[in-house]
Amino acid sequence: MNKYNSLLLITAITTSIAGLHSCTKNKTEDMKIEASTCDSVKVISYKNDVQPLLNNNCGAQAGCHSNGSASGGVKLESWQGTNEVATTGLLMKSIKHESGVSSMPKGGSKLDACYIAIIAKWVRNGSLNN
């Protein structure tokens, strides 16, 4: 193999690796939620884990369930509003797209499995205001 072919091969491999790495980036990486947050040992915090997920996908930033525009009367911008739908089971049924409830996010695809696991663990642990 000559130097030119070797250089092409190295360039192709490097480009492929860079391309694959870029495909693993999450569109919501600005939320600073990493895969390690799905770790079953981690204590889930409403303020640090659940609220940012809901704000970005359901509440203030999504423009659906904020206090100013509470679609269906569901307010997810505060712990109080979120706790109300969490304790009834409506929150989990909606984000898991279960039958009998409106699937959320409305008109969108289901939340990432990791995000659903974070919210589910918070609800299972009593939906604490932490």
Q: List Cβ neighbours of 58 (8 Å cut-off, separation of 6 or more).
A: 64, 65, 76, 104, 105
Residue 9 within a domain: no
- Would you state the pLDDT for residue 130? 93
Domain assignment of residue 65, given as a range = 28-124
Residue 4 within a domain: no
pTM of the complete model: 0.66
For the chain, the domain total comes to 1
What residues of the chain score a pLDDT lower than 50?
A: 5, 7-36
Residue 12 within a domain: no
Residue 5 within a domain: no
Residue 13 within a domain: no
pLDDT digits 0-9 by tens, 56-80: 888 656 677 766 666 777 888 889 9
Residue 55 within a domain: yes
